[in-house]
Structure 1
Amino acid sequence: MLCNQQLIKQDTLPLNPAQHWLLNYFPRPYEWYDRILFPLELPISVPAVQKAIEYLVDRHDGLRTTFIEDNGHWKQQVQNSISKEEISPLLYHAEEQTQEEYEKTRDELALAYCRQFNLQEGPLFKVLLFKRSEKRCDVLFLFHHIIVDYLACITIFKEFNYLYSAFQNEEKIELSPATSNTQYMHSLSNAMNSSALSEMNNFWQEGKLLPDSDLILNDHPGKECVSKTIRVTIPATQAEKLLRFGKKHFQARSLHHVLVAPLYHALREEVTNDTITISQKLHGRNINSDDFSFISTVGNFAINVPVTCNIDPEDNWNAIIGRVEKRFSEIPLNGLSYDIVHLINQSIPYPDHNIAPIRFNYMGISPYQRLVQRIEHPNQCLTTYIEFFVYFHEKSLHIEIQYDQTSIGQHLVNRLRDNYVKNLHDLISNL
């Protein structure tokens, strides 16, 4: 699928819910970028890097996707071919720079290259190499968020390292066939029959989605926001118990449900009623409950879904987690239905920040601390008032809370942080 020409056009596909949200939430030029940054095994082999990138592009149609606009309506278009020159890595020498100089240069270059991305022309990713010394080289993957989400970045990271090693050592490549962005769209289309659409509509119409005004101080987040991040870490001695025993002890299907339960409880202490809504960042990949065939697909499928639970502060953790589990299981199409119902009749509050001022984003286990990060710029729009990023790294549990200082006071964020951490420790003490 690689050629020496420019991108060759192919048939179009509709936008998936995550892409539709992005193109409708952000103003032009739709600036929302991601990066993967990690060290590479030395000595560096640029030809092996090139071959690994080419293999990834051939393997994953998400990396060959561009977008076309017709009378204000966007569609995605998977390209059959892409030129080798367009995806060649760029090598920068940073051996003489201090750490501060290197980070400044790296971040400025990253933003400059991201701002060259053109949705209609592509490609929508770039790879930079920074040689720091004879023993260290950093690899920086840059993406427009419309073609990748967190899980896609993890897939690219794992497969790139495997492929790079294989090409460098002339080893045989053995990878299972990849599921494609195109297959995902066909599967989603097949799931949207009339009966399913009726069930989705009834669920969200009857959900009585009302904004929780107790925590919203100003207008919705936008480009006038000023973001700030505070961080806290649960040490490995405590966090490892959650990793090893959390799901089994609380009979939970997902550790996400265990980790978000203390936040529901913390938020209950801030409001005057038992009905608590938290927006959940979900991967949007298991269209059918037991179908995980798209978990490693490269694309942007992540969705933001408001999930409402009734929280009794006197309940124990088993009861609270059980209630959270039940509520998640009731949502049609594993959360994709929220975006779909809005797209069909636009009769429910949308997007999620109009209902829930807080979003919870569980990112699993990261091989490097914040391996995947958003690339922010001076005009960066926030997409919610407060977002909890939670992930494990080296057995510790890391919590990063990003919030909009123009709408949310730091005293509130500090209370939520302190109560969330207190609740986590209390939950862990039950293990």
Structure 2
Amino acid sequence: MTVGAGTVDREFAAVIGLGDGTLVIGQSLYPGNPATLKQMPMAFLGSCDNTTLLKKTRHKIVVCQVDDVGLAIPYLEYAKVDAGLFISNDSFSSLDSQFSFPAANISPQDGPTILNYIHRSSEPTATITFRRTVLGTKPAPTVATYTSRGPSASCPNVLKPDVMAPGSLILASWAQNSTVGTVGTHNLYSPFAIISGTSMACPHASGVAASLKAARPGWSPAAIRSALMTTASHLDNTGAPIRDMGNGNKQASPLAMGAGHIEPNRALEPGLVYDAGTKDYVNLLCAMNFTSKQLRTITRTATVDCSNPTLDLNYPSFIAYFDPNKTSAGAPSVRQFRRTVTNVGDNPVATYTANLVDIMGFTVSVVPEKLSFKEKYQKQSFTLTLKENTREKRDAVLHGSLTWVDDTEKYVVRSPIVATTVRPISL
């Protein structure tokens, strides 16, 4: 399973109290003392790259407006300023919030509040209170800027990533002989640290998968992955589509978030699963132009049966590539997928109906449109077809979804569909 990283609905905050009584919430992981800076004068120094000017105002709260917070921080450290506020739309700014001096990041939305106060006040002042935790942040989750995007270079016919999970500013265990930060020149050590990365998202998904295996010991790894994918949420906590910080906060595509953000409780009851076994993966490998020796090495067998090679793995997602250079004359480009689902719902007798979210420029259809089950663990198959109606431009990434909903509406089994002209870079 391939896991992307997202933000969570929690912020480690610094509360800035302006002299006129206005409160602004910034982001900061500054751990030093005192936790609250009393009323201090403020000064706006633009990009804050003039060390001479910084030194002259070092005993004020220096306010900077910068493109890259990480590049600006060393200037204030060198000048030994008492405190700093960084106004930036830098999508990596949350990763630069572990300050060694009293400082906080301010969003571009809140920046004007601070700047307007400074400009209209003859003696602007502010207080800063650190070590505050704010819960219920909206919108959340969002796809983190740093997380890797698809398509997969090694196996482009399988949509990647699969899901996203909490990855930004996660409380993680830490080696106590390695520093977790500094205050001034003093190193700090702790058994825990605040870390960001897909290295934080992957353990979340792995832990949920392990919990599912304990609750459903008969499920295969593919069934567990399917349950996580088809129950993942593509909506944030405002009910809107999850957004991508790495793409101007536009709606995230499955190439950034996969099927969506994992929901552990829902994954326990997926209704249907897209299962796959050893032979399914061997058939995929056989279609991927590996040599016989490489196939034997991967499968650890003396012989490999490649009588039924196919790139169409029984996967809970779909990705189709189309050629933007192909002329419009002739038959339209068509891509078909054959899938099989297994009934694992509580009700052995169930009927599922297909709901399609269309993809602009394509006709998307599924046959049959209803799947009827008469017993638990029964399997049913269907075919999903994408037909290109208009020639898409180069680097287009379009997406929709196929959702199977049972007649009681208890189970909602959603799969992302991507139609793209983006070609993965070969390894």
State the TM-score bracket (shorter-chain normalisation): under 0.3
Higher helix share: 1
Higher strand share: 2
Higher-Rg structure is 2
TM-score, normalisation: structure 1: 0.23
TM-score, normalisation: structure 2: 0.24
